[in-house]
Amino acid sequence: MKKISILGICSLFLLASLFAGCNSLKNTNKTQRGAGIGAGAGALIGAIIGNNTKLGTAGGALIGAAVGGGTGALIGNKMDKQARQIDQALPGADVERVGEGIRLVLNENAVRFDTGKATLTAKAQANLDKLVPVFKEYADTNIEIYGYTDITGSAEFNLALSQKRAESVKNYLASNGLVSSRFKTTGKGIADPIATNETADGRTQNRRVEFAILANDKMVQDAKKEAGQ
């Protein structure tokens, strides 16, 4: 896996060690301490991500959905396992653990469309096929899909095209047995570039599809029960 976010893992341990030594927490129970640690970690992670534009909308969605505390830790453990399986299924993908979720970036080499169209190529379909078993195994997640383009062409055309491409990915996954209601699609057009648009390589990187994979209500409620919250 290219990236397992330090924000989602190491920050929690750091804050845990800091809070554990505070006199104000000595008389609290484990659940209360977990909630305090989770809240502090969420604030720190949110501040760091706020200054990291490369995480874009998907990263922001993941942080916004964080619940923190012992519940968040249990959700994070499940996401760790899912992230590893995604990386094994599709090694060329950029899999990143952010907060309590997963940011998955599929560049043009992984999900390619016909030029100026929203039609998935055979290679793109084959790569998405590799994700289907993982998404089925972890059914208690919602998946937000974001389409991006480079700056070639008008901003209006690219915005509409990116929306259609995100919908094409959703429709293909749904046609392979995944529940359609799990997905939300958003076209971002030329927004949130992760590379320069001044070079061919940079434009290739910017033509991408991103996924924000986060816990649905069932996973959150199950984790709360397990954490005793």
Beta strands, E only, the chain: 94-98, 101-107, 141-148, 183-189, 208-215
**Mean pLDDT, to the nearest integer, of 8-30?**
41
Q: What is the pLDDT of residue 20?
A: 41
All domains of the chain, ordered by start, with CATH? 6-227 (3.30.1330.60)
Radius of gyration of the chain (CA): 19
Which SS3 state, helix, strand or coil, does residue 140 take?
Answer: coil
Torsion over CA: 105, 106, 109, 115 (sign) = negative
Residue type (1 letter), 44: L
> Worst-scoring range by mean pLDDT, 64-68, 105-109, 223-227?
64-68
**Mean pLDDT, to the nearest integer, of 196-202?**
94
- Could you count the other beta carbons within 10 Å of the beta carbon of residue 198? 9
Report the alpha-carbon distance of residue 192 to residue 138 in Å, rounded: 28
Q: Average pLDDT of the chain?
A: 81
Q: Are 208 and 107 in contact (CB under 8 A)?
A: yes
**Mean pLDDT, to the nearest integer, of 172-177?**
98
Q: Are 64 and 30 in contact (CB under 8 A)?
A: no
- pLDDT-based confidence at residue 55 (cuts at 50, 70, 90): low
- pLDDT-based confidence at residue 46 (cuts at 50, 70, 90): very low
Report the alpha-carbon distance of residue 3 to residue 73 in Å, rounded: 19
- pLDDT-based confidence at residue 198 (cuts at 50, 70, 90): very high
Which SS3 state, helix, strand or coil, does residue 99 take?
Answer: coil
Q: For residue range 179-188, what is the model confidence (pLDDT) as tens digits?
A: 999 999 999 9
Beta strands, E only, 72-140: 94-98, 101-107
Q: What is the pLDDT of residue 62?
A: 80
Token pair 């502090």 is found at 40
Q: What is the pLDDT of residue 229?
A: 72
What lies within 8 Å, CB to CB, of 148 at 6+ separation is: 162, 188, 189, 190, 191, 192, 193, 206, 207, 208, 209, 210
Which SS3 state, helix, strand or coil, does residue 216 take?
Answer: coil
- Whether 171 has a pLDDT exceeding 80, the answer reads yes
